[in-house]
Amino acid sequence: MKLLSIEADSKTIKGSKFGYLTGIQYLKPSFKVCPHATKGCMAACLNTAGRGAMGNVQDSRHNKTVFALTKPSEHKTQLEKEIIALIKKAAKRNMKPAVRLNAVSDLTWENRVGDILQKYSKQVKFYDYTKDVQKALEHHGKPIHYTVSFHENMDIDTVKKLTSKGVNVAVVFRDSNLPKTWHGIKVIDGDVNDLRFLDKSGCIVGLKAKGKAKKDKSGFVVDA
């Protein structure tokens, strides 16, 4: 079972133009692997976007989720092997490796494979999105670069607290023309690539609503 998909979607493929080879782990989202999920984000989840709608892809994500949760030791061993392989593959292509362990999940990998993350942190850029504000504030950049995902239950004071501490907040906008600022905070285009660790700190990462998110009425998708 292969855990990391290489250049798995359009945004990670875009990262290759910036010199990064990205490995991304797709688990199957649920409130078990996304403990901070909201109704809005689950309804707009990109789990079934593109190839994700295919039955065999969903089966694969389900199997990887079961493997990660029920056989953590074996999963950890396999993950390290694949990180090493990614490092070697990136070197052959004269690129830098990046890894995102939560494609459509929100597990705290520092508690599961923290020693591996630290071991390869000088060679690999680890990054993720999360809805766990406390995790982002405590662990940001140690060694995972976090971008917090805004949702319908998050207040603006929390957004301002995060950005004031250098943690970016990703906001999904309904309008394809992103605003220059949102609540007085600079907005940058997050659809250029998925390499969030390259973003300027203390910003709103603007994402354009895609798929089911375009019809969101929960507040997860905002109108600038």
pTM assigned to the model: 0.91
Can you give the pLDDT at residue 195? 97
Q: Which of 49-53, 54-58, 59-63, 163-167 has the lowest mean pLDDT?
A: 49-53
Place of tokens 């990046």: 98
Asked if residues 167 and 146 have their Cβ atoms less than 8 Å apart, the reply is yes
Q: For every residue of 18-76, which 3-state class applies, written as one string?
A: HCEEEEEECCCCCCCCCCCCCHHHHHCCHHHCHHHHCHHHHHHHHHHHHHHHHCHHHHH
Say what percent of the chain tops pLDDT 70. Answer: 92
Task: Convert the pLDDT of each residue in 81-131 to its tens digit.
Answer: 999 999 999 999 999 999 999 999 999 999 999 999 999 999 999 999 999
Mean pLDDT score across all residues of the chain: 91
User: How far from the centroid of its chain's Cα atoms is residue 47's Cα?
Assistant: 12
Contact 44, 220 (CB under 8 A): yes
Spatial contact of 145 and 102, defined as CB atoms under 8 Å apart? no
Q: Is 141 a residue whose pLDDT tops 60? A: yes
134 residue type, one letter: Q
